[in-house]
């Protein structure tokens, strides 16, 4: 998820960025901005965030000036030391209002609320169109991946893949038969062409096959560890933020 932090206290901004990455390694902080002026300029650009964490009192004014200037359809989680702005905050795209000092538990609850309300920020017609298009184009999911070994091109069935692992910009494919192949691709590219009902993006380094999962272990801070039927290159950790969704996926929900 792409996140923008608007906060004029650098220590608070850095701590929030740390918490967000600890909650989910796939979270990316696009920028940390400390002023109304810089925020307006950023939000008028092309690289828009999925979610905004915003302080209210900034170095050059109140953050509400940003949302009056920019027509923004992105949800905002406000972080402030003052509670008197709550009403005004919820007149914007606010999904939560956190009082400083910000804790990891408070951020986790706000993120969960954001996910539950996410559909409210998506146009209904567009969402239905995308779902319909996805059903129509389901045949594009790959059934076979071509891998090369000793000069030979081998058609590898995706059903035989236990995991895909990113290491040093190279994708390692591990199979249920304990074979390993290497391909010049990215996990983002492969995630788009593999059936999401079968393959799950566990974290930044792993995509795993549902059929290759032997067991799930509970880990520190409500994280999970996926154990496969074959040996993985390293421990496969599911973040606390994604744990519930992963278990629902595993059940086929």
Bridge-based pairing of strands 206-209 and 161-167 is: antiparallel
Contacts (Cβ under 8 Å, ≥6 apart) of 211? 159, 176, 198
Phi-psi region of 55 (alpha: psi -120 to 50; beta: other; left: phi over 0): beta
pLDDT tens digits along 23-74: 999 999 999 999 999 999 999 988 899 999 999 889 888 888 898 888 877 8
**Mean pLDDT score, 82-102:** 73
Give all domains of the chain, ordered by start, each with its CATH number: 2-122 (3.40.50.2300), 138-251 (2.40.50.40)
pLDDT tens, 174-214? 999 999 999 988 999 999 889 999 999 999 999 999 999 99
pLDDT score for 119? 60
* Band of residue 253 on the pLDDT scale cut at 50, 70, 90: low
Confidence label for 89 from pLDDT (cuts 50, 70 and 90): low
Q: Are 177 and 160 in contact (CB under 8 A)?
A: yes
pLDDT band (50, 70, 90) for residue 80: confident
């Amino acid at each position: 998820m792409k996140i923008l932090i608007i906060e004029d206290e650098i220590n608070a901004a850095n701590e929030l960025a740390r918490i967000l990455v600890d909650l989910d390694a796939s979270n990316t902080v696009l920028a940390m901005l400390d002023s109304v002026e810089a925020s307006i300029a950023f939000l008028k650009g092309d690289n828009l965030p999925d979610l905004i964490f915003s302080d209210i009192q900034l170095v050059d004014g109140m953050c509400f000036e940003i949302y009056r200037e920019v027509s923004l359809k992105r949800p905002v989680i406000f972080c402030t030391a003052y509670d008197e702005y709550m009403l005004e905050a919820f007149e914007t795209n606010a999904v939560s209002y956190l009082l400083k000092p910000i804790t990891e538990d408070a951020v986790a609850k706000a993120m969960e609320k954001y996910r539950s309300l996410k559909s409210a920020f998506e146009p209904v017609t567009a969402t239905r169109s995308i779902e319909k298009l996805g059903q129509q184009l389901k045949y594009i999911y790959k059934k076979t991946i071509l891998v090369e070994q000793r000069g030979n091109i081998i058609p590898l069935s995706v059903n035989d893949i236990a995991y895909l692992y990113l290491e040093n910009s190279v994708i390692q494919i591990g199979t249920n038969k304990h074979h390993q192949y290497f391909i010049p691709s990215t996990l983002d590219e492969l995630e788009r062409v593999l059936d999401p009902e079968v393959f799950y993006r566990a974290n930044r380094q792993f995509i795993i096959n549902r059929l290759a999962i032997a067991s799930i272990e509970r880990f520190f801070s409500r994280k999970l560890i996926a154990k496969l039927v074959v040996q993985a290159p390293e421990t496969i950790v599911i973040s606390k933020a994604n744990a519930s969704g992963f278990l629902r996926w595993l059940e086929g929900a």
